[in-house]
Amino acid sequence: MDFAYRNGALCADLVPLADIARRFGTPCYVYSRTAIERNYGEFSRALAGRNALVAYSVKANSNLAVLAVLALLGAGFDIVSGGELSRVLAAGGDARKILFSGVGKTEDEIAGALRAGVLCLNLESADELQRVATVAGRLGKRAPIAFRVNPDVDAKTHPYISTGLKQSKFGVPYAEAERLYRDASSIEQVKVVGIGCHIGSLMSSPGPFIDAAARIHALAERLQRAGINLSHIDLGGGFGVRYRDETPAPIAEFIDGALGVLPGRKEMLILDPGRSIVGNAGILLTRVEYVKRTDAKNFLVVDAAMNDLLRPALYGAWHEVRPVREAESGAATAVYDVVGPVCESADFLARDRTLAAHPGDLLAVMSAGAYAMSMSSNYNSRPRAAEVMVSGADARLVRRRESTEELYAAEEVPTW
């Protein structure tokens, strides 16, 4: 019960969201530390007693306070840029538990990761292997590497977040992986330490995840026969959460299923969940500015928009919208689209919702902890929202609202 009504007031842990709006303003992201810890705990329990690492996928929510909570729990981190590396280190994350993923690492990013001493660079192409070897040679280091292998398994999810099929830009083709590993093991400047895959996001059933684990297991066996020994097997993230009425399988089912097809493997098992750690641990708090009725539709125009939460516009994603003050029974309701002030028809947070709402009312857009603030932008010159973290009865500002001056602080008007 991280976001629940208490005496008719929607609360984050023990703090009424109305109090948070009063103290910090709207739009505002609110995260529950309790929920993050509980979600992480599901992974650590399912992996108890094994040589394993949960490497939180930073792109899901990269606020320093979120990273710090996870670092304290002993989490590792899966990063996709030099910016994320910097954040993890600033939040107190352990470099030796960092995996550097992503298809387009620059020379500077590779050098930064090697200097920091990350656990592993997950490579996505033969070209990248050469580049990493060159950079490592220049720094007089040996780069720890794995290949992200594309197991050609359909995660059965939205095409934009499906990454494990042959046609995907991600990973090296399964059939070429063994040759790449042989090449890598002959290069002095790199050290082969692992193998990885990640087939997509929002998986609701463990079948595809287990299929991918079996394919990776078969490849690891072949590598072993070729004299290439690995220290870790990384099966990625992508575990689904409930947004509406989905019923994703418990994390333990994914993990137990995967362990079942990795018999006798001694390597450290790595998972890199993002959404399942933070997705349901956050909400977006917004205020109704206007109630607009037309012949065709009713709109609640709120102070949050697609620049704050892009998922509805980008994926047609569904987020529950709840009134912060529980509606009285018998209150007059209407069917509304909940829209922001941005000048795009795609600027909606929710469509066709039955709500009793008036100007000034607060609404909570639920399950907005993942791929929400981290995907936000300043489109329409909108300062980004504040972020607050709640722990029990304590609410703290973890990112202040941007000022309008900050929006153009890096810009200059040339004097010709």
Ligand X SMILES: *Cc1c(COP(=O)(O)O)cnc(C)c1O
**Catalytically active residues, by annotation:** 343
The total number of residues written for the chain in this structure: 416
Strands 386-391 and 334-339: unpaired
* Shortest distance (Å) from residue 35 CB to ligand X: 15
Answer yes or no: are the C-beta atoms of 77 and 93 closer than 8 Å: yes
Output 274 or 312, the one with its CB closest to ligand X.
274
Instruction: State which of positions 61-80 bind ligand X (CB under 6 A).
Output: 78
Q: Using the rule CB under 6 A, which residue among 57, 150, 307, 391 binds ligand X?
A: 57
Instruction: State which of positions 157-196 bind ligand X (CB under 6 A).
Output: none
Start-to-end CA distance of the chain, whole Å, equals 60
Q: Which stretch binds ligand X (CB under 6 A): 11-19, 173-181, 233-241, 377-385?
A: 233-241
Give every CB contact of residue 133 below 8 A, 6+ residues apart in sequence: 143, 187, 189, 190
Q: Which stretch binds ligand X (CB under 6 A): 24-32, 209-217, 230-238, 283-291?
A: 230-238
Instruction: State which of positions 85-104 bind ligand X (CB under 6 A).
Output: 101
The answer to the question of residue 42 lying near ligand X (CB under 6 A) is: no
Output 112 or 196, the one with its CB closest to ligand X.
196
* Shortest distance (Å) from residue 209 CB to ligand X: 11
The answer to the question of residue 206 lying near ligand X (CB under 6 A) is: no
* Shortest distance (Å) from residue 275 CB to ligand X: 4
H helix intervals, 94-241: 107-116, 126-139, 174-185, 207-225
* Shortest distance (Å) from residue 304 CB to ligand X: 22
* Shortest distance (Å) from residue 5 CB to ligand X: 28
Q: Using the rule CB under 6 A, which residue among 189, 201, 280, 391 binds ligand X?
A: 201
Output 239 or 348, the one with its CB closest to ligand X.
239
Q: Which of 40, 39, 66 is nearest to 371 (CA)?
A: 66
Output 43 or 336, the one with its CB closest to ligand X.
43
State yes or no: cis peptide before 27, omega within 30 of 0. Answer: yes
* Shortest distance (Å) from residue 367 CB to ligand X: 13
Q: Which stretch binds ligand X (CB under 6 A): 22-30, 137-145, 235-243, 332-340?
A: 235-243
Q: Which stretch binds ligand X (CB under 6 A): 5-13, 18-26, 237-245, 258-266?
A: 237-245
Per-residue interface string for the shown chain with ligand X, residues 261-280, x marking contact by CB under 6 A: -----------xxxxx----
Output 42 or 78, the one with its CB closest to ligand X.
78
Output 151 or 238, the one with its CB closest to ligand X.
238
Residue type, 367: S
Q: Using the rule CB under 6 A, which residue among 144, 171, 194, 238 binds ligand X?
A: 238
Distance CA 337, CA 343 (A): 15
* Shortest distance (Å) from residue 212 CB to ligand X: 12
The answer to the question of residue 382 lying near ligand X (CB under 6 A) is: no
Which residues does residue 29 pair with via DSSP β-bridges, in sequence order?
A: 284, 387
Q: How far is CA 314 from CA 11, 135, 161, 311, in A?
A: 28, 36, 11, 5
Answer yes or no: are the C-beta atoms of 142 and 188 closer than 8 Å: yes
Place of tokens 């569904």: 318
Distance CA 408, CA 380 (A): 12
Longest dimension (CA), the chain: 74
Instruction: State which of positions 295-354 bind ligand X (CB under 6 A).
Output: none
Q: How far is CA 196 from CA 10, 58, 100, 173, 328, in A?
A: 41, 17, 11, 12, 52
Q: Using the rule CB under 6 A, which residue among 33, 87, 97, 198 binds ligand X?
A: 198
Which two tokens mark 82? 């030099």
Distance CA 105, CA 221 (A): 29
**Can you state the angle between helices 64-72 and 82-90, rounded to 10 degrees?**
60
Q: Give the total of residues touching ligand X (CB under 6 A).
A: 16
Residues binding ligand X (CB under 6 A): 57, 59-60, 78, 101, 198, 201, 236-239, 272-276
